[in-house]
């Protein structure tokens, strides 16, 4: 894992990194010693190094049992109970194996109807993920999906096909699972939803999809080990947090998370929720916006290049190319692209990234690039932990509680009032 800040350094004043060092140490100690706000939700902090092989084997066994009983699995969850697993599957570009369908991440009846229509004729299993079991979106989807399941399978068969990931010994979903004999995995009490991707919340769906969760945890543990120093040259997650806070203090309050790799789309969506929900409170917060280039260069590229200078960018890159396609020659060359014939699209894509990052820097948009070696489960684990550790420090530097989300309850309160 590398963090290239060359196009960000040009915007950092001399001495700024040294001046902020004591603040980094203080915030690091708040995390490590549990002295800051939200300290009851720091269970993710050393989770990778504390995850034992036995618990991973249990998850793998449950995933194998589900896969043996079905040809499709419905993953029901919203927010942190859904985005991490989907990010992992998109990043790894899972093909083959059982079909994965996501539900409960919205209340759109057309979306859910089409997903159910697509399951006709397939043997299905369900993994429903919710701490409380009463969050409207996943709870409603679970009711609808279970109504279909009960038409197909008897009570004993359902026990083999339904797994609930929820809070231990309390909550509606726990009671549903206990009453009906469904499989159970638990979300640690001291880990909030958006930090739960490295718990059964994310690991069980990953295992069902065929991702090596042992490698995911190894990658996360490596990133955890690298995050213990307050030296910004060694701790890249802290360096990233520091740069984004320096830009925020300059008035650059919008961060564009961008990538030239389509497989990063849902990694960026996961990143967006993690940062928006962690930092957006008390009238503060860096606004996270996602973009996939070069597609979005034809949508918001003009604004990024010449709009208000209140933005900075973080690119996510993959060093090693996967499958490549060479551009063929064409006799008439009417499109004028013969000068690229024989070149791989990976080379062209890389030059597009380099040209874009340079242009944006020249246009007054600081940007940095986080790159991983390859599209692997190990690197995926690195990415997840990197951003979790960085937002913990960044939130404390913003002087907010990065581990609560009081504002999320406002829409729920109004919605339930209107529904009743």
Q: Is the dihedral of CA 324, 328, 334, 340 positive or negative?
A: positive
Quickly state the pLDDT bin for 97 (edges 50, 70, 90): confident
Residues 191, 255: one domain? Answer: no
To the query of whether residue 277 is one of the catalytic residues in this protein, the response is yes
Pairing between β-strand 162-166 and β-strand 183-186 as defined by DSSP bridges: parallel
Q: Where are the alpha helices (DSSP H) in 210-344?
A: 213-226, 236-249, 265-279, 301-306
The one catalytic residue in 10, 234, 354, 412 is: 412
CB 26 within 8 A of CB 33: no
What pLDDT score was predicted for residue 373?
A: 96
The two structure tokens encoding residue 237: 């997650």
Residues 372, 288: one domain? Answer: yes
pLDDT in tens, 167-195: 998 999 999 999 999 999 999 999 999 99
Q: Whole-angstrom Cα distance, residue 399 to residue 101?
A: 39
Residues 315, 386: one domain? Answer: yes
Mean pLDDT in residue range 259-280: 97
- pLDDT higher at 379 or 69: 379
Residues 138, 121: one domain? Answer: yes
In a domain, 314, yes or no: yes
pLDDT in tens, 273-327: 999 999 999 999 999 999 999 999 999 999 999 999 999 999 999 998 778 999 9
Residues 170, 255: one domain? Answer: no
In a domain, 361, yes or no: yes
Average pLDDT over the chain reads 95
What pLDDT score was predicted for residue 406?
A: 87
CB 402 within 8 A of CB 285: no
Mean pLDDT in residue range 344-369: 96
What pLDDT score was predicted for residue 281?
A: 94
**Percentage of the residues of the chain whose pLDDT score is greater than 70:** 100
Residues 390, 265: one domain? Answer: yes
Total of domains in the chain: 2
Q: In the predicted model, is pLDDT for residue 235 greater than 80? A: yes
Q: In the predicted model, is pLDDT for residue 95 greater than 80? A: no
Counting beta carbons within 10 angstroms of the beta carbon of residue 126, is it exposed (0 to 12), middle (13 to 18) or buried (19 or more)? buried
What pLDDT score was predicted for residue 378?
A: 98
Mean pLDDT in residue range 380-397: 98
Residues 269, 141: one domain? Answer: no
Quickly state the pLDDT bin for 83 (edges 50, 70, 90): very high
Query: Which residues, listed in sequence order, are joined to residue 374 by a DSSP beta bridge?
Result: none
Three-state DSSP at 299 gives coil
What pLDDT score was predicted for residue 321?
A: 78
Three-state DSSP at 2 gives strand
Residues 246, 354: one domain? Answer: yes
* 211, 239, 260 - which closes a domain: 211
In a domain, 410, yes or no: no
In a domain, 407, yes or no: no
CB-based burial, 234-268: b 16+ in 10 Å, e otherwise: ebbbbbbbbbbbbbbebebebbbbbbbbebbbbbb
HEC string of 265-279 equals HHHHHHHHHHHHHHH
Q: In the predicted model, is pLDDT for residue 130 greater than 80? A: yes
What pLDDT score was predicted for residue 322?
A: 78
Residues 26, 137: one domain? Answer: no
In a domain, 406, yes or no: no
Query: Which residues, listed in sequence order, are joined to residue 128 by a DSSP beta bridge?
Result: 76, 164
To the query of whether residue 28 is one of the catalytic residues in this protein, the response is no
What pLDDT score was predicted for residue 94?
A: 81
Residues 205, 242: one domain? Answer: no
Domain that holds residue 124: 47-211
Residues 362, 232: one domain? Answer: yes
Q: Whole-angstrom Cα distance, residue 199 to residue 368?
A: 29
Q: In the predicted model, is pLDDT for residue 203 greater than 90? A: yes
The pTM score is 0.95
Instruction: Please report where in the chains the tokens 């196009």 appear, as a residue.
Output: 7
Task: Output the DSSP codes for 100-143.
Answer: EEEESS---HHHHHHHHHTTTTS-EEEEEE-SSS--HHHHHHHH
In a domain, 292, yes or no: yes
To the query of whether residue 313 is one of the catalytic residues in this protein, the response is no
Pairing between β-strand 311-318 and β-strand 99-103 as defined by DSSP bridges: unpaired
The one catalytic residue in 13, 298, 323, 420 is: 298
* 160, 185, 211 - which closes a domain: 211
The one catalytic residue in 90, 137, 269, 277 is: 277
Residues 71, 100: one domain? Answer: yes
CB 100 within 8 A of CB 73: yes
Give the 3-state secondary structure percentages of the chain, helix then strand then coil, rounded to 5: 55, 15, 35
Q: In the predicted model, is pLDDT for residue 96 greater than 80? A: no
Quickly state the pLDDT bin for 407 (edges 50, 70, 90): confident
Quickly state the pLDDT bin for 416 (edges 50, 70, 90): confident
Instruction: Please report where in the chains the tokens 């980094």 appear, as a residue.
Output: 24
In a domain, 417, yes or no: no
Tell me if the bond preceding 294 is cis, omega within 30° of 0: yes
Mean pLDDT in residue range 390-397: 98
CATH of the domain at 90: 3.40.50.10490
Q: Whole-angstrom Cα distance, residue 146 to residue 3?
A: 45
Q: Whole-angstrom Cα distance, residue 81 to residue 391?
A: 18
* 165, 188, 211 - which closes a domain: 211
In a domain, 203, yes or no: yes
């Amino acid at each position: 894992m590398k963090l290239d800040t060359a196009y960000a350094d040009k915007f950092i004043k001399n001495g700024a990194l040294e001046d902020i060092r004591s603040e980094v140490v203080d915030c690091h100690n708040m995390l490590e010693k549990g002295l800051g706000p939200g300290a009851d939700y720091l269970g993710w902090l050393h989770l990778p190094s504390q995850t034992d092989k036995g618990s991973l084997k249990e998850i793998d066994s449950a995933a194998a049992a589900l896969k043996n009983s079905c040809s499709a699995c419905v993953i029901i969850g919203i927010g942190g109970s859904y985005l991490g697993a989907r990010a992992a599957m998109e990043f790894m570009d899972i093909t083959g194996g059982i079909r994965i369908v996501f539900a409960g991440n919205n209340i759109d009846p057309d979306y859910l109807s089409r997903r159910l229509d697509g399951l006709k004729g397939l043997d299905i299993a369900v993994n429903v993920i919710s701490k409380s079991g009463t969050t409207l979106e996943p709870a409603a989807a679970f009711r609808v999906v279970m109504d279909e399941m009960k038409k197909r399978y008897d009570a004993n068969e359902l026990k083999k096909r339904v797994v609930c990931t929820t809070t231990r010994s309390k909550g509606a979903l726990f009671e549903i699972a206990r009453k009906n004999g469904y499989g159970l995995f638990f979300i640690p009490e001291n880990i909030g939803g958006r930090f739960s991707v490295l718990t059964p919340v994310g690991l069980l769906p990953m295992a069902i999809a065929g991702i090596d969760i042992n490698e995911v945890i190894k990658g996360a543990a490596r990133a955890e080990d690298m995050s213990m120093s307050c030296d910004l040259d060694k701790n890249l997650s802290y360096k990233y947090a520091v740069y984004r806070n320096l830009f925020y203090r300059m008035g650059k309050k919008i961060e564009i998370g961008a990538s030239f790799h389509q497989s990063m789309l849902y990694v960026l969506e996961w990143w967006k929720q993690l940062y928006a929900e962690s930092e957006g409170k008390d009238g503060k917060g860096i606004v996270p916006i996602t973009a996939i280039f070069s597609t979005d260069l034809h949508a918001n590229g003009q604004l990024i290049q010449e709009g208000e200078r209140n933005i900075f960018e973080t690119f996510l890159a993959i060093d090693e190319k996967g499958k490549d396609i060479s551009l063929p020659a064409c006799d008439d060359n009417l499109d004028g692209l013969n000068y690229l014939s024989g070149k791989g699209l990976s080379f062209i894509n890389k030059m597009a990234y380099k040209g874009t990052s340079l242009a944006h820097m020249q246009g007054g948009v600081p940007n940095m690039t986080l790159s991983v070696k390859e599209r692997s489960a190990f690197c995926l684990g690195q990415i997840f932990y990197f951003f979790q550790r960085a937002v913990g420090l960044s939130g404390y530097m913003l002087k907010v509680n990065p581990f609560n989300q009081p504002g999320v309850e406002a829409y729920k309160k109004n919605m339930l009032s209107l529904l009743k």
